[in-house]
Every structure is written in C-alpha cells, then in structure tokens.
Amino acid sequence: MADQEIQAVRALLSSQPRPVGWAQRRERLDAVASIDGVAADISFEQVRIGPCDAEWSLAPGSDASKVLLFLHGGGYCSGSIKSHRGMVSEVGRAAKVRTLALGYRLAPEHPFPAAIEDALAAFDHLLGLGIPAGSIAISGDSAGGGLSLATMLRLRDGGRALPGCAWLASPWVDLAMTGASMASKAAIDPLIHREYLEELAAAYLDGTSAVDPLASPLHADLSGLPPCLIIVGSAETLLDDAVRIAGRLGAADVSTRVEIWPEMIHAWPLWAKRLTAGRMAIASVGAFLHEHLSG
C-alpha cells in the first residue's frame, strides 16, 4: 500500500513540466503542495509581522497558549503560507497547539540574512504576546529546517531564551551540498537535485560563503540548543543533511531524535491526505511537540 501511495504522489509531481523562472516556480509549488486543501474545522487568521504576512491556525481543542512557529521550505526562493497550510494546520492539530506560519521574505529579492531577521521578528512577536519561549516550538521543512536552526543560533548567541523544542523536516543544512546522498539518491529523488540547489543557494547567499554557520548550520557550533526531532525520507538527496545534522546535534549534547521513513520523498507530509506515512509522521511530530512544550 505504501508503495502505491508514494508512486501516486510521484506521478502527481511529474505530471507537469518543471517550471522556469522564480514566478513560475513559486506558483507551481503553491499549487502542487496545496492541492488537497485544508480541513473545514480549522480556523485561520491573517496577521502582519513587519514586512511579512503570517497566519495563525487553530484546530478545535488545541491549547492557544502553546505555539508552533513554522518556517516553510522552498529553497529560500519559493514556498509560502499557502503551500504549507494543510501540513502546518494538521501538525498543530496533532500537537494540540496553535500555529503561526511565517511568509518570510524570499531570495533573490531578499537574500541572506533577510529570512533569519524575519524569523527572529516572528519569535519576538510571540514573546510580545506574552507567550513564554518554552511554550514555542520552531520548525520548518527543507530550507525552513535550516532557517529554524539559524534562528535558534542567533537567539543563543544573543544570550536569549530559546524555544522549547524544534522540529526539522527534510532539512537543508549544507548549502555547499557535500552530502554523499546528493549523488547516491539523485536517480530516485523526484524533487531535489544538485543543480537546482546550486541555483537556489547562489540566489540566497548572494556572495555569502556556503559554509557560513548561519547559512549552513551543519558547520555551526550547535551546543545549547533545545530538543530536536528530525524527519527525513530514505529517497531524498538531502538524506545525508538530516543524518549529519542529527549527528552534529547529538555530538553537541543536544537531545535529538531522527526518523528515516522508508520510500518517502522530500517533505512528504505535505501530501499526508494521500500518504499513510504522511499521517503517521504528523502524528509522531505532534506527540514530540506535545511532550516538549511547557506551560
């Protein structure tokens, strides 16, 4: 059953030619990632945080005093609140918390470190609402996973309170693309390949070194960070990013759990309505967040 489900998602992703240019790529990701819509019982509220759009979601029975701050993927150049709305709101339901999805500024129009500044502003916005840092989880998929780590590093280095925990899905943490799976998984990953990532990295970095710790947290001192859950599919070119960052976190004495899901592709919980493994992953994430958020 799992094989049939993931093959159907692969067919969905390959059903249209690859888009060209930033505008087409952004439209394509929004369309394909939001194809299944959102549940009718979840309430949404749009807000502005500085120059950025943001969106609250709340499922019935959730605790509004605990918040999942979500930073979407898309290689820092695409992705949006819309593309990730379904997954984010269902993780909020599973964790029984409120979510705040941030539409941070995108490259190449707004290169490094604009996204980090926006994420910090969103965290400060939550603190300003009276939500303690320990009641906030920070999270993201792909580039959003790297951005989540960079945001925590900035908080730590500033001597500030850190989130209660972090969830990283298929995280992109090495913009130099040195992981062995970048080549070994290239033939089976339907979404992410070296040439594509090189283009995204160049647009985001805009001359910054690819091994800058805030651009590529794989190269950072990770000590002092809160508990982290990392999920990744076995069919991803970014598999080694997830495995290596888990190892670096563990070596830095950070409580870390990594889950490698067989056959799954990049950011597969986006299509959880079609994938049993997507719904199971969301349940696992929800349990982790529920366990680690204080309040």
Q: 236 an active-site residue?
A: yes
Choosing from 84, 125, 219, 266, the catalytic residue is 266
Choosing from 89, 236, 284, 292, the catalytic residue is 236
Cβ-contact 112, 201 below 8 angstroms: no
Q: What is the largest CA-CA distance in the chain?
A: 49
Q: Distance between CA 48 and CA 46 in Å, rounded?
A: 7
Task: Name the pairing type of β-strands 97-103 and 63-71.
Answer: parallel
Residues 6+ apart with CB under 8 A from 207: none
Q: 266 an active-site residue?
A: yes
Q: Distance between CA 132 and CA 242 in Å, rounded?
A: 28
Name the residue with tokens 């299509």: 271
Choosing from 142, 148, 181, 284, the catalytic residue is 142
Q: Distance between CA 137 and CA 66 in Å, rounded?
A: 8
CA distances from 165 to 34, 51, 76, 192, 295 (A): 26, 26, 22, 27, 13
Residue 266's closest CA among 182, 205, 210, 180?
182
Query: Which two tokens mark 262?
Result: 């067989």
Determine if the peptide bond prior to 269 is cis (ω within 30°). no
Active centre residues (catalytic):
142, 236, 266
